[in-house]
Amino acid sequence: MAKRVLLFFILMLGSLACFAQKQPVDSYANNADFNDASAGTPGSRDNAKLLAIMPVRKSTSFANYVAAKTAKVDYATLLQDIDKLRLNKQIGSAAGASGITNLVSNVAAPALIGLGVEYGSILQSTTGNTTTLRANLLGVSRMLLGAEQFPYCPVIDQAGCTTASRWARRFSGNVSFENVNDTTATGTAVPATTATPTAVDLFGNGFRMASWGARFDITANDPSDPGYISRFQQAIDTLRGSHTPADLAASVEGLFGNADIQPIYLAWQTETLAILQAAPQSEFKQKLGQQLDVLIEKLAAISPDFYTKVATLRRASQNYLSERDDLLQAIQSHKFSVEYTNLHSQNQPSTSNVRVIFSHQPTAAPILLTANAALTWYNSLPAGTSASRLRDVQFAGQFDRRLGVIPNLGNAVMTLAGYYQWMKEDALITIGPGNVAPGSGILLPGTAATLLGTKGNIGVVQGRLTLPINNTIKIPISVTWANRKELINESDTRGQVGVTLDLDSLFR
């Protein structure tokens, strides 16, 4: 068992190499002309199609290549760029909820609406789907009123950023529904009565509400909060004034028309056409990138003006990434939230859970650390039960690492998590009189009983890989191992998969 879990972690770490890092040449090659030029076998490519991707024909693409990134420096763009790189959003069910696949709750909730569909649970014996809907108080209110979701206050819409709206942004709610497909029948001993005991379905079957909850952000966890305005403004002031790729494109066009530069460019073009003509298709893009680097050096050496613009663009690109990463670190560091969840597990008394959530990004590197501490108690004890109202105590931690870019999709995320739960006493279940306690053969005289041997320690470890479909849809795939379940004292290993939708990206 341990070997299988270890193998999964090794495969996840090895998957780093499977995700192609997005290179500057990708922006140059992102057009139909490039696809046409690279098609075909070496030595038989159409020279006219190769000429169509030369810098003299693709001056803007060449400028984008030099810049490595088109840095449109404004508040909206910078906010969108930061939001899609965040690792601290909770879309699916809260940790500890019935049917949950997450071991740890993240510190931030969607600013509008999030939807998570997860399959199976590790702590409870459910194998159906759990669907969770999360909604932000301010976001839903603005949607119902037809107002703009993110008015970028107070830069654009000071009137829309009242104290009340700032506090409303910190409140969100969630509700989870489960569709349990498998049932478990218990109770086979015949009691000393004339009646035959009814088989008890501990885990349920059908569509039902599993939990509901509310969350409050103790700190400002959303990047659109006005508290970050000064930081955004400083970043924008730092980045503005740089030359844009359009400026460089005009400069390139002017250079290519210079009589002194034309012979050098034409010689480079002849050399490049020969190299691309002979390049295998798998190396075509790489060879093109190498030749573009050669051309940049030649043009920079010939024209001091071009060299200045290239240097300025490179600094602007590096500064943009540095400012963006500094802002992202501030938005994800030392953040707190608290979440209340009311759980309605099948054939168990309803419980309440309060969870304190903390997140921190220790460096500018794409790493996030998250910690949870929680208490669960019974909302009420069944008649005749002398158990404590305190059900369990939970602690959990999680490590998230943003991986390389999957071309045209986004960043994959690797997660490693650990979870510990201390069951103070044997768990309570609620089943009708005249049935048999699961695994004991004891006839129950009333409607409640304790499951024998379920108190004690529960330990869980999980590895997860989250694959982006786009900025809105993501697919988490995980493998989880637990030393036991809440109601059954036996270990379990599960593979789980889900789908999450974050509507924030559609409105920002």
List CB contacts of 299: < 8 A, sequence separation 6 or more: 252, 255, 261, 306, 307, 310
Give the mean model confidence (pLDDT) for residues 59-80: 61
Residue 394's pLDDT band (boundaries 50, 70, 90)? very high
Q: What is the mean pLDDT of the chain?
A: 75
pLDDT beyond 50 at 312: yes
Domains of the chain: 2-76+237-327 (no CATH), 85-219+334-507 (2.40.160.40)
Cβ-based burial of 145 (10 A; exposed 0-12, middle 13-18, buried ≥19)? exposed
**Residue 370: predicted pLDDT:** 95
pLDDT in tens, 277-300: 999 888 898 898 888 888 888 877
Interhelix angle 262-278/245-256, nearest 10 degrees: 110
How many residues does the structure list for the chain?
508
* DSSP per residue, 112-157: SEEEEEEE--SSS---SEEEEEEEEHHHHHHHHHT--S---TTTS-
| Percentage of the chain exceeding pLDDT 70 | 67
Nearest alpha carbon to residue 348 among 129, 125, 182, 131: 125
**Residue 448: predicted pLDDT:** 46
pLDDT in tens, 196-207: 544 445 444 566
> What is the Cα–Cα distance from 401 to 16, expressed in whole angstroms?
11
pLDDT in tens, 226-281: 777 777 777 766 665 554 555 555 666 666 667 777 888 889 999 999 999 999 88
- Specify the DSSP class assigned to residue 216: E
Give the mean model confidence (pLDDT) for residues 461-479: 89
Give the mean model confidence (pLDDT) for residues 179-193: 43
> What is the Cα–Cα distance from 243 to 200, expressed in whole angstroms?
72
pLDDT beyond 60 at 423: yes
Collapsing DSSP to helix, strand or coil, 186 comes out as strand
Q: What pTM did the predictor assign? A: 0.66
Provide the β-strand partners of residue 459: 420
**Residue 436: predicted pLDDT:** 55
Asked whether the beta carbons of 108 and 487 are under 8 A apart, the reply is no
**Residue 247: predicted pLDDT:** 58
- Give the highest mean pLDDT range of 17-26, 366-375, 463-472: 366-375
| Percentage of the chain exceeding pLDDT 90 | 17
pLDDT beyond 50 at 155: no
